[in-house]
Amino acid sequence: MARPCLLLPSLLLAAAAAALLLSWAPGGALAKSKLAKKSDDIVNGPLLTEKLGAKRTLIVGPDEEFKTVQSAIDAVPAGNSEWIIVHLRSGLHKGKVTIPADKPFIFVRGNGKGRTSISHESASADNAESAAFTVNADNVIVFGISFRNSARVGLVNNQEIRSVSAMVAGDKVAFYHCAFYSPHHTLFDSAGRHYYESCYIQGNIDFIFGGGQSIFQCPEIFVKPDRRTEILGSITAQDRKAEDDTSGFVFLKGKVYGVGEVYLGRVSAPNSRVIFADTYLSKTINPAGWTSIGYTGGTENVMLAEFNCTGPGSDAAKRVSWSRRFTMNEADKYLTVDFINGKEWLPAFYY
């Protein structure tokens, strides 16, 4: 079945027309390669800004009205009901940032994940407490920011020490072109419907975890070695607790690579649900694919699946018996933003 590639046909057409024009111009080859880069990067700050139609912008930077990100968030009125932009100037923004539950409709906009970052060093026994960036509000959109928790956490095996870079606990939250860095337990995708498009996520143990209902579109997942630990880490630990729990992590058209070896996922609840589809898996994926290490319940009700993946880490031969290899029919309901009802709330999406 052919699946359409992008839901921004007018932009694509414009890009195609421009490519055609440029290919006729002298020096077209160079210009074309620049253009190709641009069309990969089709969701950008201006596009999201236009879609959301925010009326107010609060600017954060050393020479701006707001010196810290948190002070700008604090200036958003409680019970906010219209989109408001919190724009972060390029550079490093230090300090923990929390968007409280009573401040929805915030668009946190950076200048790109290589230019704008939020960084905080905090290790704690508690995931939420350790998080550098926390979203407790519904309806939050984030563009172009790196989130980093660079706490030196010592023993990775110790469950008491957490260093989360972002915790996402609101409903209808989307991140475009963001990056998440921490040694492990990087992205606490806690609860609610979420969408991550073209995001980079780095870590080692259970580094995308929680009970969120989330799509990761074209993610870049980098496995970072950690020589302090004996166990093999795991990319995901999804916390779906019951048959009627709608949560689950869906990875589409991404790539997984890095150094060392990990599992795609670890069972952490009776109905853990994770699917990797159309994804390149490098040899960083252990041939068993999935693990239940540290989990005392059964694996009979989990849904840990792969569909149409490629690369040396995608070989089915040695997968654990309780993991799944989906057919197109089984995979179908996970392959579009309908899994998170995205057409009702996302300002932009692939398909």
Ligand X SMILES: *[C@@H]1O[C@H](CO)[C@@H](O)[C@H](O)[C@H]1NC(C)=O
Active site residues: 206
103 touches 73 (CB < 8 A): yes
- Nearest residue by C-beta to ligand X? 308
- What are residue 167's DSSP bridge partners? 134, 188
Binding of ligand X by 278 (CB under 6 A):
yes
In the complex, the smallest distance separating the C-beta of residue 345 from ligand X, rounded to whole angstroms, is: 26
Nearer to ligand X (CB atom), residue 143 or residue 349: 349
Phi, psi for 5 (deg, rounded to 5): -90, -40
Binding of ligand X by 121 (CB under 6 A):
no
252 touches 279 (CB < 8 A): yes
Provide DSSP, 172-210.
Answer: SEEEES-EEE-SSS-EEE-SSEEEEES-EEEESSS-EEE
Token pair belonging to 302:
């989990």
Tokens 């806690």 — which residue?
190
Q: Which of 7, 68, 71, 16 is nearest to 39 (CA)?
A: 16
Q: Which of 169, 114, 112 is nearest to 138 (CA)?
A: 169
Tokens 């040695």 — which residue?
318
Nearer to ligand X (CB atom), residue 269 or residue 281: 281
Residue 37, exposed/middle/buried by CB under 10 A (0-12, 13-18, 19+)? Answer: exposed
In the complex, the smallest distance separating the C-beta of residue 315 from ligand X, rounded to whole angstroms, is: 15
Nearer to ligand X (CB atom), residue 121 or residue 278: 278
Nearer to ligand X (CB atom), residue 107 or residue 339: 339
In the complex, the smallest distance separating the C-beta of residue 342 from ligand X, rounded to whole angstroms, is: 19
In the complex, the smallest distance separating the C-beta of residue 9 from ligand X, rounded to whole angstroms, is: 19
- Other beta carbons less than 10 A from residue 9's beta carbon: 10
Binding of ligand X by 101 (CB under 6 A):
no
Subset of 323-342 contacting ligand X (CB under 6 A) = 328
Phi, psi for 200 (deg, rounded to 5): -105, 130
In the complex, the smallest distance separating the C-beta of residue 3 from ligand X, rounded to whole angstroms, is: 6
In the complex, the smallest distance separating the C-beta of residue 335 from ligand X, rounded to whole angstroms, is: 8
Token pair belonging to 110:
């950076």
- What are residue 307's DSSP bridge partners? 277
Region class of 218: left (phi > 0), else alpha (psi between -120 and 50), else beta: left
- Other beta carbons less than 10 A from residue 164's beta carbon: 32
Subset of 292-311 contacting ligand X (CB under 6 A) = 308, 310
In the complex, the smallest distance separating the C-beta of residue 283 from ligand X, rounded to whole angstroms, is: 17
How many residues at the interface with ligand X, by CB under 6 A?
A: 4
Distance (Å, whole) CA 217 – CA 339: 12
User: Can you give the binding site for ligand X, defined by CB under 6 A?
Assistant: 278, 308, 310, 328
